[in-house]
Amino acid sequence: MTVIVLTRCPAGLRGFLTRWLMEIAPGVFIGGPSARVREHLWLQVQQYADTGRALLAYTTDNEQGFAFETHDHKWHPIDHEGLILLRRPKELQERVPEAPRNWSKAAKRRRYGQR
């Protein structure tokens, strides 16, 4: 099983992928091509994605039962003791400004719009 997810990619690339995979939602393609065809499709996606992003997930014989690759994604796959995890860059983590310690909870809510 192979899944390819495209974000902000050219329409021509979506049309190209529909030759081998079925588009079940806008930008989400699923199918069961051979490993050779999957690799060829992924190379084409990387070449023609322009400023878009792409994610490839496919079944394989490992502990998780699947593997994935990314193209121009902000989250990057890393190998952690045999498991593939996604690393979120620190600049993407939401930073909430801290209020001075001597402020009351009500003052903090008014200042930062928390309810």
The torsion of the CA quartet 71, 76, 80, 84, rounded to 10 degrees, works out to -40
In this structure, are residues 6 and 54 in contact, taking their beta carbons and an 8 Å threshold?
A: yes
Each of the 115 residues of the chain gets a pLDDT tens digit; together they read: 999 999 999 999 999 999 999 999 999 999 999 999 999 999 999 999 988 999 999 999 988 999 989 998 888 888 888 888 888 877 655 555 666 677 787 887 777 776 5
CA quadruple 67, 69, 70, 76: dihedral sign: positive
**Cα dist from 105 to 95, 99, 110, whole Å:** 19, 10, 9
What pLDDT, on a 0 to 100 scale, did the predictor assign at position 101?
Answer: 73
**Cα dist from 43 to 64, 91, 103, 109, whole Å:** 24, 29, 55, 50
What pLDDT, on a 0 to 100 scale, did the predictor assign at position 60?
Answer: 93
Helix (H) or strand (E) holding 35: helix 35-48
What pLDDT, on a 0 to 100 scale, did the predictor assign at position 97?
Answer: 63
What pLDDT, on a 0 to 100 scale, did the predictor assign at position 92?
Answer: 52
How many CB atoms within 10 Å of residue 29?
21
Instruction: Give pTM, 2 decimals.
Output: 0.74
In this structure, are residues 28 and 64 in contact, taking their beta carbons and an 8 Å threshold?
A: no
Phi, psi of 85 (to 5 degrees): -120, 160
